[in-house]
Amino acid sequence: MQVKAPTHRPHAAAADYLKKRSSSGAEGYAAVTDRVASMLAEIDAGGEERVKRYCRELDGWTGELVVSRSEIEEAGARLAKTTREDIAFAHQRIRDFALAQRDSLREFEVTLVPGLVAGQRLIPVTTVGCYVPGGRFAHVASALMSVATARAAGVSNIIATSPANAKRGGIHPGVLYALQLAGADVVLAIGGAHGVAALARGLFSGHSADVIVGPGNAYVAEAKRLLFGRIGIDVIAGPTDTLVVADDTADPALVTADLVGQAEHGVDSPVWLITTSRALGEEVIRRAPGVIDSLPPASRDAATAAWRDHAEVAVVADRQAACALCNEYAPEHLHVQAADLDWWLKNLVNYGSLFLGEQSTVAYGDKCAGPNHILPTMGAARYSGGLNVGKFIKTVTYQRMTTEASRELAPVAARISRLEGMEGHAMTADIRLAKYFPDEDFDLANPETS
Active-site positions read 332-333
Cα radius of gyration (the chain): 26
Sign (positive or negative) of CA dihedral 363, 369, 373, 379: negative
Nearest to 131 by CA among 209, 53, 39, 50: 209
Q: How far apart (Å, rounded) are the C-alpha atoms in residues 62 and 68?
A: 15
Q: How far apart (Å, rounded) are the C-alpha atoms in residues 362 and 385?
A: 16
Q: How far apart (Å, rounded) are the C-alpha atoms in residues 158 and 126?
A: 9
Cβ-contact 15, 274 below 8 angstroms: yes
E-state strands within 23-65: none
Classified as helix, coil or strand, 151 is helix
Cβ-contact 61, 169 below 8 angstroms: no
Cβ-contact 128, 360 below 8 angstroms: no
- In the chain the first and final C-alpha atoms are separated, in Å, by 46
Q: How far is CA 152 from the centre of its chain?
A: 16
